Chain A
Amino acid sequence: MAGALGGLISLPAWANGWSTETVQSTQHFLSINQADQLAELVETIIPVTDTPGAKALNVHQFVQKMVADCYDKTTQENLQKGLDSLDDLAKASFNKTFAEGDTAQRTALLTQLSKSTDTAQKDFYSLVKNLTIRGYMTSEYVMTNLTHYQFIPGHYYGCVPVKAKTASQPK
């Protein structure tokens, strides 16, 4: 609905920040190989089950965009390095590339990364994980189909019994 409305309103020149061109013009700072690794990584963090996983929801593109546009150079480089090292780590631990590993092998590798004593490695993983969760939870699919976000609640009830509702709405 909002999309349709957005299309009807012609935005003044100063609002160009919201046009589709700028969405596309963001520099893709990851190589194709790095981008592929990132897609595998986000899918491992939130895989397809009876609902789509992170990759199908384009969360890897969201992660790349966030790091490109909102983070500093050091963080960007650390992401690149982290993605480059993924296959070496995979080979060392299960003798295959990261993409070739099965779920258990990949999961074990990520658990290992989360406990790494190498700060760069640990930062790399926690950045990707946090942004993956954020991108997934705020994706249109999840917000409309799974967490039932209400754009216009139309009310505020101060005291309702807990049973009636499990989660509060994100802003």
Chain B
Amino acid sequence: MSYLNIDAQALNTYDAIVIGSGISGGWAAKELTGKGLRTLVLERGRDVRHVTDYPTTNMQPWEFEHRNQLKREVREANPIISKCYAFYEGTEQFFVKDAEHPYIQEKPFDWIRGYQVGGKSLMWARQTQRWSDFDFEGPARDGFAVDWPIRYADIAPWYSYVEKFAGISGNKDGLATLPDGEFLPPHEWNCVEKHFQQKVAGKYKDRHVIMGRAAHISQAKPIHFQQGRAQCQHRTICERGCPFGGYFSSNASTIPWAAKTGKMTLRPNSVVHSIIYDEKKGRATGVRVVDANTKQMTEYYARVIFLNAAALNSNLVLLNSTSHRFPNGLGNDSGVLGKYAAFHNYRAGISAEYDGNLDSTTDGRRPNSPYIPRFRNVHKQEMGFLRGYAAGFSAGRGSRSDQSGVGADLKESLLNPKLGGWYVGSHMMGETIPKESNYLALDASQKDPFGIPQLKISIAYDDNDDKMVKDYQEQLTEMFTEAGFKNIRVRDSHASPGLDIHEMGGVRMGKDPKTSMLNKWNQLHAVKNVFVTDGACMTSTSTQNPSLTYMALTARAADYAVKAMKQGLV
């Protein structure tokens, strides 16, 4: 009997376990297998294979029954996910439906998720900027959250490492706020964007408009061909999955790379329930998994565990991993687990028209747009709010036709559209301040379909965010006016948090185990063989899109974990 158990245990034992196969989990899988570890990758969703499982990727516009509009019943059954701009007839299959994994909105929060092999890396918008020391020094300088245990210099080589493999297009702009990376050629500007860039440069010393840095292969290098990926073809329907591997996704890049080592076991439909803590050994020994189809519970074991379930789910897993030693969640000696969650402020936007440059237009499509790095409170605190915001910017020209008539006249005008004027637009990306009162917890009574307690989300905007929205609107109005843009309209969507899809924190890094969960290697202070390298680990949020930083932190932590294992430290 016991002999059998040992057998089963051996069968379910690996060197490493990675929980989640999205952007960060894909990197953990690639790094750990690449360093020779037999690695089990557990993914709650179904398998999605590169190309074959992108059912809509080659569909022409007219092949969509509803021309990409959502069916009424889908919209009505999914009020939350229907708010996401990327959720439409061609992408429905990649987003988590509202009923699939219920949660409790103690305050309104639109939780946007992708549960499948590849996670949200299939649908993301691929903006990838490095953080700078202005970001890593933020909490210490401005006195919020806790000090980051790392600085830009600690992570810079790892940014380079992941950028080269993932393929990041961008321009070397030489800005302190946004360090340059290992770039493939940048995307092209259009004339109105160039015009705006020059106007802004002429008026402000400290404001810049640059081409966005995006995870697109604008020029394939040998390392990309080795992954089976090719140059981006400018289709701009990336969120349906790209058969060329033109943009970075776990499915096109890290996961198949890890598979090629022969060291990876990928197990889809495996919902991790909790991490097992062995009190005698004083470390985590494995995980409990609920099979999504059979609802059977199985245990898997490993020497090291990487938790990459995406920020909120990683909090959930740790909160649900209770033991005699850790009654309030794994590694939660400090009591800060689930607290200091934060996100990005995407509420505000601005649009306008421009009647210059009418003799030129654009041709083709570009899966990227220009970017305005943060310029507020950069060198010192100067405004009536903490931190700042970055912004997206783009200009374009559409065609217009007179649709007032009917019959042959209408047909004639529809088929001979006139080029309209230029339109310009921007949206803000604000840093929010992690606070103890923004927290995640487990609900004591309500369970999800797998028998796991539901996550309770209590996160909201505050006064600092409102002030930032106002400043963004004022400053962008001033910049737009300077550029001669007309009919300027500002907006504040007043959307709930969540739609930014940049949730972070709850398992923050820090120097002091009394006030943080993870050390500078993303290792739980109290359980050294558990690493958390997704958005949960973020001490503060910066204004930059976060995923490139998750990739770099993951590669760095995996490198450390393997070295530490060899030295017997883990």
Chain A residues within CB distance 8 Å of chain B: 1-3, 5-6, 9, 11-12, 14-15, 17-18, 22-23, 26, 44-47, 49, 51, 53, 65-66, 69-72, 103, 107, 110-111, 129, 133-140, 142-143, 146-147, 149-162, 164-171
Assess whether A69 is in contact with B71, with CB atoms less than 8 Å apart.
yes
Tell yes or no: B324 within 8 A of A by CB.
no
* Nearest CB on B from A166, distance (A): 7
Assess whether A162 is in contact with B361, with CB atoms less than 8 Å apart.
yes
Assess whether A168 is in contact with B407, with CB atoms less than 8 Å apart.
no
Chain B residues within CB distance 8 Å of chain A: 46, 52-53, 55-56, 58-63, 65-67, 69-72, 92-93, 187-191, 193-194, 233-237, 357-366, 396-399, 403, 406-408, 410-411, 414-417, 419
Q: How many angstroms from the CA of A70 to the CA of B65 in the assembled complex?
A: 11
Assess whether A103 is in contact with B407, with CB atoms less than 8 Å apart.
yes
Partner of A156, one of B187, B406, B410: B187
Assess whether A159 is in contact with B190, with CB atoms less than 8 Å apart.
yes
Assess whether A110 is in contact with B406, with CB atoms less than 8 Å apart.
yes
Would A158 and B188 be within 8 Å (CB), given that A17-B92, A153-B365 are in contact? yes
Q: Which residues of A contact B410 (CB under 8 A)?
A: 45-46, 133
Q: Which residues of B contact A51 (CB under 8 A)?
A: 411
Would A71 and B72 be within 8 Å (CB), given that A164-B363, A165-B363 are in contact? yes
Residue of B nearest to A45 (CB): B406
Partner of B411, one of A47, A143, A147, A150: A47
Assess whether B414 is in contact with A157, with CB atoms less than 8 Å apart.
no
Known: A70-B71, A160-B361, A168-B362. 19 other contacts (CB 8 A): A3-B63, A5-B58, A17-B93, A18-B55, A45-B410, A47-B407, A51-B411, A66-B69, A69-B72, A143-B61, A151-B235, A153-B365, A157-B188, A159-B191, A159-B361, A160-B360, A160-B362, A165-B361, A167-B419
Query: Can you show 5 pairs from A to B with CB atoms below 8 A apart?
Result: A14-B46, A46-B410, A70-B66, A157-B188, A168-B397
* Nearest CB on A from B174, distance (A): 22
Q: How many angstroms from the CA of A2 to the CA of B359 in the assembled complex?
A: 36
Q: How many angstroms from the CA of A65 to the CA of B67 in the assembled complex?
A: 11
Q: Which residues of A contact B93 (CB under 8 A)?
A: 14-15, 17
Q: How many angstroms from the CA of A53 to the CA of B414 in the assembled complex?
A: 13
Residue of A nearest to B404 (CB): A114
Residue of B nearest to A68 (CB): B72
Q: How many angstroms from the CA of A69 to the CA of B194 in the assembled complex?
A: 43
* Nearest CB on A from B537, distance (A): 32
Residue of B nearest to A4 (CB): B58
CB within 8 Å: A-B pair count: 166
Q: How many angstroms from the CA of A70 to the CA of B71 in the assembled complex?
A: 5
Q: How many angstroms from the CA of A110 to the CA of B407 in the assembled complex?
A: 10
Q: How many angstroms from the CA of A138 to the CA of B59 in the assembled complex?
A: 13
Q: Which residues of B contact A171 (CB under 8 A)?
A: 236-237, 365
Assess whether B408 is in contact with A47, with CB atoms less than 8 Å apart.
yes
Assess whether A156 is in contact with B415, with CB atoms less than 8 Å apart.
no
Assess whether A161 is in contact with B55, with CB atoms less than 8 Å apart.
no
Assess whether A156 is in contact with B364, with CB atoms less than 8 Å apart.
yes
Q: How many angstroms from the CA of A133 to the CA of B411 in the assembled complex?
A: 9
Q: How many angstroms from the CA of A120 to the CA of B194 in the assembled complex?
A: 47
Q: How many angstroms from the CA of A70 to the CA of B73 in the assembled complex?
A: 8
* Nearest CB on B from A2, distance (A): 4
Q: Which residues of A contact B189 (CB under 8 A)?
A: 158
* Nearest CB on A from B114, distance (A): 14
Assess whether A158 is in contact with B365, with CB atoms less than 8 Å apart.
no
Assess whether A23 is in contact with B65, with CB atoms less than 8 Å apart.
yes
Q: How many angstroms from the CA of A5 to the CA of B58 in the assembled complex?
A: 8
Q: Which residues of A contact B59 (CB under 8 A)?
A: 2, 6
Q: Which residues of B contact A165 (CB under 8 A)?
A: 361, 363
Assess whether B411 is in contact with A46, with CB atoms less than 8 Å apart.
yes
Q: Which residues of B contact A70 (CB under 8 A)?
A: 66, 69-72
Q: How many angstroms from the CA of A47 to the CA of B190 in the assembled complex?
A: 38
Q: How many angstroms from the CA of A137 to the CA of B400 in the assembled complex?
A: 13
Q: How many angstroms from the CA of A140 to the CA of B72 in the assembled complex?
A: 24
Residue of B nearest to A109 (CB): B406
* Nearest CB on B from A14, distance (A): 6
Q: How many angstroms from the CA of A18 to the CA of B240 in the assembled complex?
A: 14
Assess whether A157 is in contact with B364, with CB atoms less than 8 Å apart.
yes
Partner of A154, one of B69, B234, B399, B415: B234
* Nearest CB on B from A61, distance (A): 11
Q: Which residues of B contact A49 (CB under 8 A)?
A: 408, 411
Q: How many angstroms from the CA of A2 to the CA of B58 in the assembled complex?
A: 5
Assess whether A9 is in contact with B52, with CB atoms less than 8 Å apart.
yes
Assess whether A152 is in contact with B360, with CB atoms less than 8 Å apart.
no
Q: How many angstroms from the CA of A122 to the CA of B67 in the assembled complex?
A: 24
Assess whether B62 is in contact with A140, with CB atoms less than 8 Å apart.
yes
5 closest residue pairs by CB, A with B: A158-B190, A156-B366, A153-B364, A156-B364, A167-B399
Q: How many angstroms from the CA of A158 to the CA of B234 in the assembled complex?
A: 13
Assess whether B72 is in contact with A2, with CB atoms less than 8 Å apart.
no
* Nearest CB on A from B555, distance (A): 31
Assess whether B66 is in contact with A155, with CB atoms less than 8 Å apart.
no
* Nearest CB on A from B369, distance (A): 11
Would A161 and B411 be within 8 Å (CB), given that A70-B72, A110-B406, A149-B61 are in contact? no
